[in-house]
A and B are shown apart, each in its own frame.
Chain A
C-alpha cells in the first residue's frame, strides 16, 4: 500500500462553551490514500465536519486541537498560518455544503474563482487567470462559461453555484479535496448531477476526496472506504462493500436499517432509537450503549470505552464494539441490497 497522503493520528478537538467543554472529536485516527474517496458518515454533531475543518485551520478560535494530521509529511496542526494558507485552496481544497451562501454576493463568480487561482499562482496574469477560470467552469459543466464568468452569484441557480464552488476547489489541482456534504442543500435531481461533476473533478485532478455526508446513497455511489463516526469517535472503518455487507458495529447496522429501500416492502423505517448523546457529558463506557440494541445492558458496555480493533482477518476493517463478533449472526440485509442498487 502506498504512503497515505493525509494521515490523522489521535485527533482530539474540544470546544469551550458556556455550558462546559464540548468534546467534539476524540482520538480520531485514519489515513487517506492518494486518489481514493474516503466517506465519513455519521449523524449531525458526530464530529465529521469538525475534524476536517480543524486540520484545515478553519475551526473557530475557541477550539483546542490535539493530535497530529500529517499531510505530505507536514503536521497541519503545527504549521504556521502562512504555510497553512498556501496549502488551503492549493494542494488541499474544500467544497462547502450550501452553495447558496458560499459565494460572495458582491463579486462575480469569475472573480471569485480567479481569485482562488491567483492566490496560489501570484505570477499569473489577470487574463491567464480568467482563461483558466473559463476552462474550470467548462470542466464542471457550466454552459456558456465565457459569458457566465462575468455573472453574479444571484444569477446562478443552486446547482450552477455548486458547480462553480467545485470549479473553485479544483482550481489549483489539489491532491486532497474535502467535500463537506456537497449535495445536502440541493434538489434530488441536482444532487445526481453534482455527483457526476464530482466524479469529473476527480478524473481531472486525481485528487483523493474526503466525502463528509450522512447520505449513504452518496457513499455507496462514490466512496472506496468508509469511516463511520459516532459521538466524536471513529466506530467503524472499512471498505465500502464490507461496511454495507458486513457491518460490525451496532451503530452502522442501525444506519443501514434506517435506510429507505425501493426494492423491499417496508412498512416502517427502523430508526435508531434515542438521541445522539450530549458531547459535554457523554455517556460513560461505549457512547452508543444507551441506544444499542446489542448491548442488552451488559456491564462492560457501560463501563469501558471499547478499543478500535481489527475484525476478522483483514487489518483494513476495524470496529469499536466489545461484541463486534456477535453482529456476524445479526441479519443485516438492508445494507447489502442498498449497495447492489448503487
Chain B
C-alpha cells in the first residue's frame, strides 16, 4: 500500500547534491555541459581549479539550470506513467480497450445493421463476408456482428456505471470510517460486513426479479450496491495508516479542516489502490452482468447484452456455434484487457516499487 515514503525520497535529486557534485569535480557548474570539449587542447584554459572559482556564482548556477544539468524533476505521477508504459501487456490491453470503447461509443455508425433489423433471406447463416454478416445471423436473421456491438455497448455502459458508482460509495464509506475511527468506523464497517456476507448471486437474482431488471440502469444500480464493499475495506485500511502520518498532523497543525485533509491530503495518497480496485470492478461487473443476463435476469431482449446473447445462443447447441463464440470472445477479451491494465496500474502506482518493469 501507500504507507511508505515514496522511493523517490532516496534519490539525490536536488540542487544541493548537484552543487556538491560540481564542487568536487573542481569545475564551475557551467562547464559541465561541455564536459567533452574540455579535453580539447584548443579550449582556452578554463577557470577549472582556480581557487576563486571554487565558489559557484549564482550566474553559473542559473546557467547550469538552463542547460538542464539538474536532473529533471519527476512527480510521483510521472514515475507511475513511466512504469505503466513499460508494462507491455498493460499498454496493449489499454489500446485494445480504447478500440473496444470506440466501437461501443460509435456503435450506431460502425455496426453494419440495426440490432433488431431482420434479414429474412439469411436466417441462421454462419459467419460470411457475403451480405456483410461477419459474425453470421441469428434465428431471426438479425446481423450478429451488429448485435454483439450493441450488446458490447450495453455491457460496457453498465460496467462503467457500476465502477463509478461503487468506487464513489466504497471510497466515501472507507474514507469516513478510516479517518474518524471509533463509532463511525464501527457502524460503517459492520454495515459493510453485512453487505459482504450476503450471498451475491442470490441477492442479485432476487433484486433483479423484485425490481424488474431489464433496464441497464437498474442492473447497474443493483451491481454497484453490492460491489463497493471490498473497496471500502481497502480505503479504510489505507486511511487508517495515513491518519498516523506526520504530514497529516502537520496539515492539522496548519489549520486544515477535516474535509480538506481527507480530500486533499489523504485521497491522493490512496488513489493507487482505488484505481486498481476500480479496474477490477469493471471486469467483475462485465462478467456478473453477463451472468445475470445469461440467467435471464439482466438486460431483456430485444436489447442485446453480451450475456443474454450467449444465453440465447447456447439454446441452439453447437450447430450455431457463432451465437455463443463471438459474444463470449468479446467478454473474455474485455475482462483480460482490464485485468492486465489493473495489473499494470498496480505495479505503476506502488510507490515502493522503483524498478521499472521490462
Binding site for B on A (CB under 8 A): 56, 58, 61, 85-90, 93-94, 96-98, 100-108, 112, 115-116, 119-120, 143-144, 147-148, 151-157, 159-160, 165, 168-169, 171
**Least Cβ–Cβ distance between A2 and chain B, in angstroms:** 26
Instruction: Tell me if A105 and B6 are in contact (CB < 8 A).
Output: yes
Beyond A93-B254, A105-B5, A160-B14, list 9 extra A-B contacts (CB 8 Å).
Answer: A85-B257, A88-B253, A104-B251, A105-B351, A115-B256, A115-B264, A155-B14, A157-B14, A157-B17
Q: Does B9 contact A (CB under 8 A)?
A: yes
In Å, the complex CA distance between A41 and B76 comes to 39
**Least Cβ–Cβ distance between B349 and chain A, in angstroms:** 11
In Å, the complex CA distance between A104 and B268 comes to 10
Instruction: Please give, as numbers and ranges, the residues of chain B lying within 8 Å of A157 by CB-CB distance.
Output: 14, 16-17
Instruction: Please give, as numbers and ranges, the residues of chain B lying within 8 Å of A105 by CB-CB distance.
Output: 5-6, 8-9, 76, 247, 269, 351
Indicate whether A119 sits within 8 Å of B254 (C-beta atoms), given known contacts A104-B269, A105-B269, A107-B268. yes
Q: Does B15 contact A (CB under 8 A)?
A: yes
Instruction: Tell me if B73 and A151 are in contact (CB < 8 A).
Output: yes
Instruction: Tell me if A90 and B252 are in contact (CB < 8 A).
Output: no
Q: Does B41 contact A (CB under 8 A)?
A: no
Q: Does B246 contact A (CB under 8 A)?
A: yes
Instruction: Please give, as numbers and ranges, the residues of chain B lying within 8 Å of A61 by CB-CB distance.
Output: 181-182
Indicate whether A106 sits within 8 Å of B269 (C-beta atoms), given known contacts A61-B182, A148-B15. yes
Instruction: Please give, as numbers and ranges, the residues of chain B lying within 8 Å of A168 by CB-CB distance.
Output: 250, 254
In Å, the complex CA distance between A103 and B269 comes to 12
Name the residue in B182, B256, B257 with the highest tally of chain A Cβ atoms < 10 Å from its Cβ.
B256
Instruction: Tell me if B254 and A89 are in contact (CB < 8 A).
Output: yes
Instruction: Tell me if B255 and A102 are in contact (CB < 8 A).
Output: no
Indicate whether A102 sits within 8 Å of B250 (C-beta atoms), given known contacts A61-B182, A85-B255, A147-B65. yes
Instruction: Tell me if B254 and A98 are in contact (CB < 8 A).
Output: no
Instruction: Tell me if A116 and B76 are in contact (CB < 8 A).
Output: no
- Scan residues 50-65 of chain B and give those whose CB is less than 8 A from a CB of chain A: 61, 65
Instruction: Please give, as numbers and ranges, the residues of chain A lying within 8 Å of B132 by CB-CB distance.
Output: none
| 24 pairs of residues in contact across A and B, judged by CB atoms under 8 Å | A58-B249, A88-B254, A94-B250, A96-B253, A101-B247, A104-B268, A105-B5, A106-B268, A107-B265, A108-B75, A112-B251, A115-B251, A144-B15, A147-B65, A151-B14, A152-B8, A152-B75, A153-B9, A154-B76, A155-B73, A157-B16, A157-B17, A160-B14, A160-B16
**Least Cβ–Cβ distance between B56 and chain A, in angstroms:** 11
In Å, the complex CA distance between A216 and B330 comes to 71
- Scan residues 1-54 of chain B and give those whose CB is less than 8 A from a CB of chain A: 5-6, 8-9, 11, 13-17
Indicate whether A86 sits within 8 Å of B253 (C-beta atoms), given known contacts A104-B269, A106-B76, A157-B14. no
**Least Cβ–Cβ distance between B242 and chain A, in angstroms:** 10
Instruction: Please give, as numbers and ranges, the residues of chain B lying within 8 Å of A96 by CB-CB distance.
Output: 246, 249-250, 253
Q: Does B357 contact A (CB under 8 A)?
A: no
Instruction: Tell me if A89 and B182 are in contact (CB < 8 A).
Output: no
Q: Does B88 contact A (CB under 8 A)?
A: no
In Å, the complex CA distance between A115 and B261 comes to 11
Indicate whether A120 sits within 8 Å of B249 (C-beta atoms), given known contacts A107-B265, A152-B73, A157-B14. no
